[in-house]
Structure 1
Amino acid sequence: MTKPLPSPIPIFDNLSHFENPFRHRPQASEQVRQHARIAETDLGNDLQLCHEFLYSYRGSSDTFASYRREIERFMQWCWFLQGLSLAEVRRQHIEAFVEFCQDPPRHWIGTKSVARFRDSGGERVQNPEWKPFVAKVSKRDHKRGQSADIGGFDLSQSALQAIFSILSTFFNYLLQEEHVELNPVAQIRQKGKFLRKRQGAATIRRLSEAQWHEVLNAIENAVPEDPERYERALFIVSCLFGMYLRISELAETDRWQPSMGDFTQDAHGNWWFTTVGKGNKERDVSVSDAMLLSLRRFRAFLGQTPLPLPGESAPLIPKVRGKGGITSTRQIRFIVQECFDLAIERLRTQGEIEEADALQAATVHWLRHTGISEDVKTRPREHVRDDAGHGSSAITDRYIDVERQARHASARHKKINPVESD
């Protein structure tokens, strides 16, 4: 009789409860020690290395969360299922792990994201409802009442790519620490059996002109009903579209607190907005005249001077209640989603059913994509690249779809039966 697979056990807490491993040696929980099928010494060494590696990414909460997810899954598989320490991992183990991630046991899959640990009696305890893998449904299907199903779990190509990328970075770190003699991920010569290659650039998901128009109209119509709520919403969507900001660049974090003082005027009278984006990279975004009008409007509503003064520390997106700026990206998502919902209702009322249905799938990030896509039509791509914070022009080129449209236009009148007349 086959021995049942053990239940998953959370290993690494969130960043706010993640102690410096160079000062405090991490200790495995009693559950982890009981389920681990490796020597106690190996377990302690592996745990120390994992903590040191993850701690080095504490500068970005999003990056830390991504790396924690992949390292945690991998260590659970190694320790609890295979009885492997990090020093024993080879190429065939990485391949087996990837195959495991593509089809994990049902009791390792959840239908919602929950915290790994929770507070109980002044201590952090493991949450038994947490699972390493989560089955999800699309935003549109969720709105239609469809629930996530464990049987429908599917690991996306981007998720597979993340496994290879993060594990390779991890083993390069272990090489530098002289804990392993090789990077088993780099030894895999045929990643193509796991990862599909795509010919041409992927389609950028963005709002149509009609959808964006109705989002703005919906907010404007709602302003008289609740100015405090919708003036802020209008400024948020303006920042996301007009300056290509990511949602993480609007919310306050330990490493970045966006303020009105981040809008500055240079010696030529041009306005710029300074932000800190992915990879903790600071960049200056050129502020258009239209964006400057949005800023003036929002500041007038807040009772501030028409334009920011040098060194002004007022938060960019202030909380409705309390002091300081918004710290939750989830709250910003909720605000923008409410605007999308209002626009969907307007489109349906106007009989634009297809536009309304398509808007149901939109996310906050689509506003950034939409702003970039509109600007590459008229602005030099290098200018858009630098404002968007793209690492190369090749990324910006993905937003240029003129060739794609021309390709489709040339194919429109192709015939299946060449003897048929037009």
Structure 2
Amino acid sequence: MTSKARFPGFPVFDTAELIHEQADLELYPDLRAALASLPVDHDAALEDFQIAHRFLVKYSDVSGTYNRFRSEIQRFLNYTWLVAKRHLSQADTDLVSSYFSFIKTPPAGWVSRGIYPAFIASADLRRFNPHWRPMALRSKDTNTPYSVSQASLNASRTALQTFFKYLVSRDYLQRNPLLDVRKRDRNAKPNLNQDRDAEVRRLTDWQWSYLLETLTELASADAKFERHLFVIVTMKSLFLRVSELAPRPVDRGQMRTPTFGDFRRTIVDGEPYWVYSVFGKGDKTRQVTLPDAYLDYLKRWRLHLGLTSPLPVPGESTPILPSKKGDAIGKRQVQRIYEQAMVGTADRMEREGFSDEAKQMLAIRSETHYLRHTGASQAIEAGGDIRHISEELGHANATFTESVYVNSEQVRRRTEGRRRLV
């Protein structure tokens, strides 16, 4: 049920499956009429729609990211056209600041109680859904007021940041208006019951370096640790779960075993790249780009196995982690390899006087997801595109990835705090 208060705006963009059909508005008579009646120049509003449409089409093959970006952009366009009474090319810092203030405490008419599709089918046309609103309250309690979380505001900022960069690259805007918006304007209203940092379960850079150095030394001294080195580096560098390195059941009781044939060399714009095909969570397949630095570890592992070529060849059926019997080791064995690597590193830490650090490593010796989280966090911190990393992690959308892995404000705050004098 929607609020009884009147909403002056309208939905702008349809689903990812239908966005390509929306360019000429032929099937969208309500949207054509609404754009023509806006209190801004009609041609300018139509140009706003067209460039925003082109931007969203770029993301239509990644449903989660598309939905997040669509939601944010059509909400921002409604505010720009109807509240600020401007068009998109006039967006500046003041407009964006006032927008963030607006969405923290929106008028009742802008909020629905429940999620509704933007458009509905009617006689081969796409009509406005009268129940749709730019914001939604999911609680069944009719007395619950609408509130926006900091995670939601962060997601809004990410979507607009990407959109504004696109507009600048197309000379639609001279400058990204979000760059000068004060942090205070982008923050949610304080909630005194939620004053805790979001916890990212990952290794510190020092812990990772120490772990890698320990396993490299162990493998160089004793070949039985070559497998430990390869498994740890692979899980961290390719963002893998334990289950993604072990055989898994698929249709009709068949097992799918990760093989070297899952590594593939491809050419993009004349440059060679290696990718790894992962059969992951939810029986979904994704591709992960191999870092150039990872190839040396792949070659080292194949040399240890006695394989003839330094790098995989098409159709190669050798299991990535073969057992002594010739088939592949299972999930529990991969887990045990991780545990042994963490214990071995903790032992070295203890010997070298890092007792507290050793206890920390032992405390997470069964937490294999630390490697995946560490790899993704370091990639993002190094400047990687969060949308691309989200896809390689197998996440439904970049918003979820940001909520789990990105917390630059927390890092800055803690770093500055450590520098204070006593």
Scaled by the length of structure 1, what TM-score is found?
Answer: 0.50
RCO higher in 1 or 2 (8 Å CA, sep ≥ 6)? 2
